[in-house]
Amino acid sequence: MNETGFGHRSAALAIAAAMQDKYGTHCAVEIVNPFNDKRTPAILRNTQTGYDRAVQRPGLYRFAYRVSDMRLPNVAIESMLTIGLFQVIRDLIRCHQPHVIVTTHPHYLAPLDAAYAALGRHVPLITVVTDLTHVHHEWFHTVSDLLLVPTQAARRRAVQHGLLLRRVKITGIPVHPRLWQEQRPPAAIRAELGWQPDLPTVLVAGSKRMPHLADILHSLDDSSLIQQLVVVTGGDDALYRHLRQVKWRPITHLYNFVDNMPSLMRAADCIICKAGGLIVSEALACGLPILLVDVIEGQETGNANFVVSGGGGARARSSSEVIDILQGWFGQAGQLLAQHAQSARRLGRPQAAHEVAELVWTEAGRNPNRITENKYPLRFINLLDRLRMPRQEKRLRGSL
């Protein structure tokens, strides 16, 4: 995985938890981020933190996303990634000797293909897509033995890009098993969290990728519409400090970063968030109506359309729209909110991580480490070695 967006890491953690649930000590799961390796070029490492800045310029980001989704630019990107990550990926395979590899980010597919060619063997590879419908071209690399997608629309897109139908399976996006294992009523969870058990509760999940979040929260405060407000700023320290200075009208609970989001979601009546694939999938798995704001054009557009068209929530483009939508949801004894909750449960795939875990387990025992056809000339592999040979890798080679 890598940290370009919270979703890739969350999906990896969900799969790891599901593997432990189902197979316990019979398997060992290791989560690695090759982008954090010191041998990975800084220009690639920095994309993990640069993503937050990029999405705050939506016009430029939208243009870059659309261009990179075209075939020729995508080939150029894959070549750059292969040069930058080849040795790191190859040495990880040598070091860990895995029975199966699972990737929750598409940037590793082309480098894995090159590493397999250099090693002369192919470790079973499962790719888990973390967007619901509009899936970027980069995900559709033929090196994957299985491509696990969230929806029928994503599966059609994969087949259109040349993947064999039998290699593309619909599982949903893996969410942490705690989301469906938590079965207590909301009032009981609220009491444990120190919230008011009987008040209607709105959860707001934010981050630096939601530039209008502060305005939305102040509008909620001014409206006197919300009785209990729960805000998670997602590690945005500046916003968290700012919100702590506010004298809130509703009962308000502020968190900067949490590791118990399943409990918070199960305790809320609805959620306001961006349209990231993971948080949307988590909310749907909980049957939690979603009010989407600050949707990033590109991959998140498809996520938003999936939620709205399926009745699992709504999209607001301004603070005033947020207020209008919530008034409709909580009016008339919450009938509309209940309808959205029912649709969200229908759209959700709460046991997706366990489905993925079963496929991973099966693939791990099927023809491991088969000999691979070398599609790359030896001189190309040698060129990759010469391009990236820092001293620390030479030390690593001696230890392998």
The model carries a pTM of: 0.87
Question: Which of 66-70, 112-116, 134-138 shows the lowest mean pLDDT across its residues?
Answer: 66-70
pLDDT exceeds cutoff 70 at 100:
yes
CATH class of 178-347: alpha beta
Pairing of strands 370-371, 121-122: antiparallel
User: What span, in angstroms and rounded, lies between the C-alpha atoms of 191 and 197?
Assistant: 5
The DSSP annotation for 316-366 comes to: -SSHHHHHHHHHHHHSGGGHHHHHHHHHHHHH--TTHHHHHHHHHHHHHTS
Closest CA to 314 of 302, 326, 297: 326
Beta carbons of 1 and 8 less than 8 angstroms apart = yes
Tell me the average pLDDT across 128-135: 92
pLDDT for 279? 93
Question: Using the 8-state DSSP alphabet, how is residue 204 labeled?
Answer: E
User: What span, in angstroms and rounded, lies between the C-alpha atoms of 101 and 1?
Assistant: 11
User: What span, in angstroms and rounded, lies between the C-alpha atoms of 221 and 116?
Assistant: 55
User: What span, in angstroms and rounded, lies between the C-alpha atoms of 337 and 312?
Assistant: 10
User: What span, in angstroms and rounded, lies between the C-alpha atoms of 162 and 151?
Assistant: 17
**In the chain, what are the domain boundaries?**
6-176+351-399, 178-347
Question: Which three-class secondary structure state does DSSP give residue 352?
Answer: helix
Q: Do domains 6-176+351-399 and 178-347 have the same CATH topology?
A: yes
Q: Write the pLDDT tens digit of every residue in 303-341.
A: 999 999 999 999 999 999 999 999 999 998 899 999 999
Domain over 6-176+351-399 is classified CATH 1.10.12: no
pLDDT for 400? 38
User: What span, in angstroms and rounded, lies between the C-alpha atoms of 126 and 356?
Assistant: 9
pLDDT exceeds cutoff 90 at 116:
yes
Tell me the one-letter amino acid at 311: G
Q: What is the mean pLDDT of the chain?
A: 88
pLDDT for 291? 98
Taking CA atoms, 19 is separated from 154, 253, 327, 356, 359, in Å, by: 25, 33, 42, 9, 10
